[in-house]
A and B are shown apart, each in its own frame.
Chain A
Amino acid sequence: MNLTLKVWRQSGPTDPGHFETYEATDVKDEMSFLEMLDLVNENLIADGHEPITFDSDCREGICGTCGLMINGQAHGPQKGTTTCQLHMRKFHDGETVTIEPWRAAAFPVLKDLMVDRSAFDAIIQSGGFITADTGGPRDANEILIPKIAVDSAMDAAACIGCGACVAACPNGAAQLFTSAKLAHLNLLPQGQAERWKRTEDMVETMEMFFGSCTNYGECQEACPKEIPIDFIAMMNRDFLKSKLKNRKLQGQR
């Protein structure tokens, strides 16, 4: 398979950047999207050009490091799939594929297709933790948790923090990420102690960096872990409850 790639090249954070066209030849169906880029880069290096910079780590869809805007969709055309798990069989011979970095004020482009996502770290730092007991380990099943709560918490915890929700959102909002990080602690007994403080702090930190939700629903379509916007509804409700009764200061449940 031969493809024409339109790739965003930007030498540094201050460079305005531009699209560069490359021919990707001999692309195999079973290659992942990143392997295809590796192939292009090897040819670029052999020709003495600067390779395309992009983020990647585990390449098995669980780390959240990779993330590209492929043909106007975050992580490309396949639903529930990260860029590294997207295979070239989803594309056809002769196709032109446009590749852009995530674009948001909170995700400045560092180089080519690589962005700085430390705004997500700031949100996590503001409340994405629980108070754990010191001392001996507790029995695994000491705290009883309803299965339905565990399942919901686990679905939220599937978030890998790739930033596709922000990239896909027409508003550049991070509601899906923040709500997933909140829900996976707020739904469990271990997360109750800081529930209200966590909700307010993480939402307010999010608002410092990102846009705001207008319920387009584009994020849940882009999410490689298919996290639903129901968690955003839950976050909104918790935030409202906390603010209305000032539970953060009272430390109430």
Chain B
Amino acid sequence: MLHLTVTELSAALSRGEFSSVELTRMFLDRINLLNPALNAYITVCEESALAAAAAADQARVRGDVRPLLGIPVAHKDIFCTRGLRTTCGSRILRDFLPPYDACVVEKLRQAGAVMLGKTNMDEFAMGSSNETSFFGKVGNPFDTGRVPGGSSGGSAAAVAAGLCPMATGTDTGGSIRQPASFCGITGFKPSYGRVSRWGMIAFASSLDQAGTLTKTAADAALMMQAMAGLDPRDSTSVDRPVEDYTGELGSSLAGLRVGVPRPHFAEGLSPGVEQGVREALAELERAGASLIDIDLPNNHLSVPAYYVVAPAEASANLSRYDGVRYGYRCEEPADLEDLYTRTRSEGFGDEVKRRILVGTYALSAGYYDAYYRKAQRIRRLIRQDFISAFEQVDVIAGPTSPHVAFPHGAKADPVEMYLEDIFTIAVNLAGLPGISIPAGFEEGMPFGLQIIGPDFGEARILNVARQFQQLTDWHKRLPVSTAGES
């Protein structure tokens, strides 16, 4: 049962091949065995998982046939879970027990999924390697000396290593797609507003979006069917019918127009990744799609614009951590100023502090127009590039990341780390859906093909990804450390 997809597990559970309790027990045992080396989970909730699994088994006996019933899930530790520690990878929230569940957690539980625990992540989702976590670095299951990507690195490593069959993540600038690429799995980021942000700890509110990490696009469709939809508690949640994601997976690719963005094949792309992605595109062509070169002329401005918008919004969002209402508080504050300043200085890590400083600067008197307004204007240019492109193509496809996973500690320079997201960040600025699916290996490490859709084109890109996975087996290649078991 270890390497079955969610779709396969669902069928096996309904045939009675094993129970949800047995399945959950197996994953909990795997976590006990492998998590000390991988550090993919921050918190495991064994007791409540087994209780939820037993309840799912009973519901099945009563005739409940929902597809996610009894399927274990891991949540990124950015989603609030009632009564279960939610840290956001930060010292400042290391003992935080939320009084409520995030909408995503609620919806997956209502769909019958069984929560195994909370996964490691870059602190406040700020990072591309999972190395900024207060709870330590995460090993890539394909080579534990390398990073799993970030910020949803724990979720990606957990799915790749078979420590859960599906996981949630969040993607502000590439935080689902890039770790999916590095760990050889499928990572799906929906359109902005498609999934409720309620109870998801805020980083950059005009960019943050929840999504999925799974083995296959079909599994992502199953999760999305449960997660998507209007939530009145999130004022940016979209009032728009949810498509039938699973129902549209089978459509043929004949006649599909695939845009290939020239700037995504520019200098800096590793030769092995370029070759593999070009072969993946040829595979789509053989399946009946046509490839059309496109330009995204402002793509090179996406990282600079993002590093104004995201830190500015983060500096405002993170002002709530003041040591008064919840979270870490410094010892023996001399006065109120000292309480605020020392709590924040001791509670936040270096990268979070850097981004708060950059954001505060960009929003401060005299700099607002030159930075924040300017970045918002460039954001519109970037979105317009995509709108123009989608007048002539149905989807856009290229590499997710310029290279495969790098060794821990290899990128100490923040700007170099920021450029990791050069192919993913523009998608967030434009609010579009995107998916990364396994497309090959270089140096024994996986890399992904990114497929980008137009506004609310979730079903379309899931369909394209699914068809690619019917033609290839990259998504079935397992890391050596976790292979060889049933």
* A and B associate: no
